[in-house]
A and B are shown apart, each in its own frame.
Chain A
Amino acid sequence: DGGITQSPKYLFRKEGQNVTLSCEQNLNHDAMYWYRQDPGQGLRLIYYSQIVNDFQKGDIAEGYSVSREKKESFPLTVTSAQKNPTAFYLCASSIGRGAHQPQHFGDGTRLSIL
C-alpha cells in the first residue's frame, strides 16, 4: 500500500545529542513537510521541500536540519541546539508543490528528553 512511513514511533534523546527522524514515502509525491505538534499549539512547520536537493525553512527551523537527496526520503535531524525538543513530529507529503494539494501524513514520532 502507498503511504508515508515515519520511524521510530518513539525516540528518547539525551542532553547534547543529535537524533534523526526518518520519513519515507512511496506515493511519488514532489513535496514533503515536517511539522511539530505541541499540546494546545496545533501544527507548526519546521522545514519543507518541494523538489529533490532543495528545501526551505518553516516558522520554527532553529535547532533542526533536513536533507532531500531522494524524492522518497526527507529525514529530520533534531540537533543539540534545539533546547525544547519534546514534541510529536509529523511528516507529510503532497503530490504537487503548491498550497492547493491535500497533505498526506505519517503516523508521527514522539520525541522525549531523558
Chain B
Amino acid sequence: EDKVVQSPLSLVVHEGDTVTLNCSYEVTNFRSLLWYKQEKKAPTFLFMLTSSGIEKKSGRLSSILDKKELFSILNITATQTGDSAVYLCAVGSNTGNQFYFGTGTSLTVIP
C-alpha cells in the first residue's frame, strides 16, 4: 500500500528558531515529491523534488530528497509568525499519475 508519513504531527517554536520537517514515503513507481504550505484554505506550492541530493532553496526555506532512504526534509530557518501553517508532503507516482499526501505537520511560531 502506498503511503506518505510526515513527522512531527505538530510543532510549536519561537520566532527565530530553525525547524526541520520530515516526510518519508513508500510509493510505487516514484516520480516526484512536493511540499505545500496550507494556511487556511488552499495549499500553496513550495518545492518539487525529483533527484536525490539536490537542495531546493527559496529564501529561508530549503528542501532535499533522499531517494535511497525514501525521505525528504523541509528546513525553515529564522522562523517568523507568518510561517505558521500546515505543511503538506505529496509524492507523485507514475502509476496512475496521481499524488499521495501525508497528514501534514502543523507548525505554530510564537512571537
Contacts and interface: CB of A to CB of B under 8 A. Distances in A.
Given A40-B103, A99-B31, A106 B42 contact: yes
Interface string B70-111: 000000000000000000101011101111011110000000
Nearest to B32: A100
A8 interface: no
B98 A99 contact: yes
Contact of A58 (B93, B98, B103): B98
Most B-side CB within 10 Å, residue of A43, A56, A100: A43
Given A42-B104, A50-B97, A100 B92 contact: yes
Interface in B28-78: 31-32, 34, 36, 41-45, 48, 50
Contacts, number: 61
Contacts of A41: 103
Contacts of B43: 90, 105
Size category of the A interface is 20 to 34
A45 B103 contact: no
Contacts of B101: 35, 42-44
30 contacts: A4-B42, A35-B101, A40-B103, A41-B103, A42-B4, A42-B88, A42-B102, A43-B101, A50-B97, A56-B96, A90-B43, A98-B31, A98-B94, A99-B32, A99-B93, A99-B94, A99-B97, A99-B98, A100-B50, A100-B92, A102-B34, A102-B45, A102-B48, A103-B45, A103-B90, A103-B99, A104-B45, A105-B42, A105-B44, A108-B42
